[in-house]
Amino acid sequence: MKRKEKKPAPPAPEQITRAIARRVRQHVIGKPQTFFAVVQPGFEEVARDELSELGIENFGEPVEGGVEFTSKLEGCYRVNVAARTVTRVVMRLFDIRLTNLGDLSKKITALPWELYLPDGAAVAFKVSSERSPLYHEGLVEIEMHHAIAARLQRYEFNMSAADAEDGPDVQEIVVRLRGDRCQFSIDTSGGLLYKRGRKPFVTEASLRETLAAGILRAAGWKDANTLIDPMCGSGTFTLEALEMASGRLANAERVFPFKFWPAFRPAAFAHLLTKLTEAARAAKRPVRIIAFDNDAEAVAAARGNLARSGLDTENVEIRKSDFFDPESATIPPDSRPLLVLNPPYGKRLRKKDTGSLFRRIGETVRHHYRGGHAVIVPGLELEKALSLTYDRKILFRNGGLPVAVICKLP
Ligand SMILES: C[S@@+](CC[C@H](N)C(=O)[O-])C[C@H]1O[C@@H](n2cnc3c(N)ncnc32)[C@H](O)[C@@H]1O
């Protein structure tokens, strides 16, 4: 009689955990990964310089809207914590061929999701489809969720569906369907990095912190010692410039999703944070900031934001003044000043008024200010009206409008 073959016993849970930990060490911690730092289009070069300063060395080909780089996980942690010009960082996971919904489940369950997602992960998907036969993004999302959950179940990991807005412990997976390719990335930032969470008061047309930081870098703030911010609004330039000079890290307090990854090592991260904090403190330098606005509410908002910044504000002055009043232009002697201007434009002003506003801005800068300047200007016509010289010009979109910032280095 034929003997019944004995089925091998399933591996014990500790064995599974050990095996995953080994594969995580080998494939995720031990190897360089590819990351994409999303950046305001126009500021790719500025961001790349910042990433280089943070020790990133291997960059991909230039692309619009971001900077690709390869590094160990630590590099991605550095960028998230310290970069000021980056909107968010995603890590590339897999790039597979996917041409029909029938194949999706088999192909997705074959991928090693257990190396990236922790047990109990609340996952949100961001699916975008272009020229792909899988055009129904909602359906793809549902199928992906089931397939990844099925893969994780093999390791007795649970996974639930969530919304990216639900909070810091939600893990977002970005799925790009392009033609017959499907690219998966995992978000490492947990929400957009310009939401620093330190500016409670906003005014109309506030700049994003990442954009303000990009302009300050492009205009050479590090080489100036006095910032003049005459249309300060809620004080975004003022706060970013002060944070930079005070040696504060951009996002040290943030709860990043990578802190829940199987590859995360708390002790190594704490060490990195200490090193970054020390490096930022070493770059601390004395500066003076003079901010004003002709709107009392804007002045109150900027002052409120400054008061809550937790920074040394002794050399920062925020007052109600008119930029066109020659008395306002008090530039301390022996200073190396940088003037930053984000004037009102667009819907809020009539075309005729905008022309004369930019002409007057140009005249005021030429007659009453010296040193460097960075002025945001919407369109060539107004740039001509402004009639200021510059060393660098960056084209970008702000509030949906095509604009430029013209920068003269201090
Ligand atoms: C586009 S907003 C600046 C927003 C600011 N960058 C921020 O992030 O909050 C333009 C600001 O210029 C101010 N402003 C307009 N004309 C001004 C003038 N003649 N003198 C001073 N401030 C002026 C407005 O009150 C408004 O706060």
Tokens of 171: 């893990």
* Structure-derived torsion over alpha carbons of residues 230, 233, 239, 240, reported in degrees to the nearest 10: -90
Beta carbons within 10 angstroms of residue 61's beta carbon: 5
Q: What is the mean pLDDT of residues 82-96?
A: 98
The residues lining ligand 1, judged by C-beta closer than 6 Å to any ligand atom, are: 203, 205-207, 230-231, 233-234, 236-237, 293-295, 298, 322-324, 342-344
**Digit-coded pLDDT (tens) for 360-372:** 999 999 999 999 9
Whether 4 shows a pLDDT value over 70: the answer reads: no
Atom of ligand 1 nearest to the CA of 323: 20
Residue closest to 187 by CA, chosen among 119, 130, 124, 143: 124
Whether 400 shows a pLDDT value over 90: the answer reads: no
Are 288 and 229 in contact, with CB atoms under 8 Å apart?
Answer: no
Q: What is the mean pLDDT of residues 255-264?
A: 95
Whether 381 shows a pLDDT value over 60: the answer reads: yes
Tell me, in angstroms, the distance from the centre of ligand 1 to residue 279's CA.
Answer: 34
pLDDT of residue 65: 97
Residue closest to 235 by CA, chosen among 257, 266, 203: 203
Residues 6 or more apart from 169 whose CB is under 8 A from it?
122, 255, 257, 260
**Digit-coded pLDDT (tens) for 277-290:** 999 999 999 999 99
pLDDT category at 327 given cuts 50, 70, 90 is: confident
Tell me, in angstroms, the distance from the centre of ligand 1 to residue 319's CA.
Answer: 12
Whether 1 shows a pLDDT value over 60: the answer reads: no
Tell me, in angstroms, the distance from the centre of ligand 1 to residue 308's CA.
Answer: 21
Tell me, in angstroms, the distance from the centre of ligand 1 to residue 232's CA.
Answer: 5
**DSSP-assigned states of every residue in 179-235:** TTEEEEEEESSSS-TT--S------TTPPPHHHHHHHHHHTTGGG-SEEEETT-TTT
Pocket test of ligand 1: the residue of 211, 242, 293 to mutate, having most ligand atoms within 8 Å of its CB, is 293
pLDDT of residue 68: 98
Whether 120 shows a pLDDT value over 90: the answer reads: yes
Tell me, in angstroms, the distance from the centre of ligand 1 to residue 22's CA.
Answer: 56
Tell me, in angstroms, the distance from the centre of ligand 1 to residue 331's CA.
Answer: 19
Whether 164 shows a pLDDT value over 90: the answer reads: no
Q: What is the mean pLDDT of residues 290-319?
A: 96
Whether 163 shows a pLDDT value over 90: the answer reads: no
Tokens of 56: 């990133």
Whether 359 shows a pLDDT value over 80: the answer reads: yes
**DSSP-assigned states of every residue in 24-56:** HIIIIISS-EEEEEEE-TT-HHHHHHHHHHTT-
Let me know if 247 is exposed, middle or buried by CB neighbors in 10 A (0-12, 13-18, 19+). Answer: middle
Tell me, in angstroms, the distance from the centre of ligand 1 to residue 358's CA.
Answer: 13
Longest dimension (CA), the chain: 107
Percent with pLDDT over 70 in the chain: 96
Tell me, in angstroms, the distance from the centre of ligand 1 to residue 292's CA.
Answer: 8
Q: In Å, how far are 26, 54, 78, 262, 276 from 271, measured between CA atoms?
A: 22, 16, 11, 18, 9
CA–CA separation, 79 and 53 (whole Å):
10
Q: What is the mean pLDDT of residues 103-126?
A: 95
Atom of ligand 1 nearest to the CA of 324: 19
Pocket test of ligand 1: the residue of 211, 294, 299, 359 to mutate, having most ligand atoms within 8 Å of its CB, is 294
pLDDT category at 95 given cuts 50, 70, 90 is: very high
Are 101 and 147 in contact, with CB atoms under 8 Å apart?
Answer: no
Strands across the sheet with 226-229, in order? 316-320, 288-293, 226-229, 337-341, 372-377, 401-408, 392-398
Name the DSSP class of 63: B
pLDDT category at 10 given cuts 50, 70, 90 is: low
Instruction: Pick the residue whose CA is nearest to atom 14 on ligand 1.
Output: 231
Instruction: Pick the residue whose CA is nearest to atom 7 on ligand 1.
Output: 206
pLDDT of residue 348: 60
**Digit-coded pLDDT (tens) for 180-189:** 999 999 999 9
Name the DSSP class of 168: T
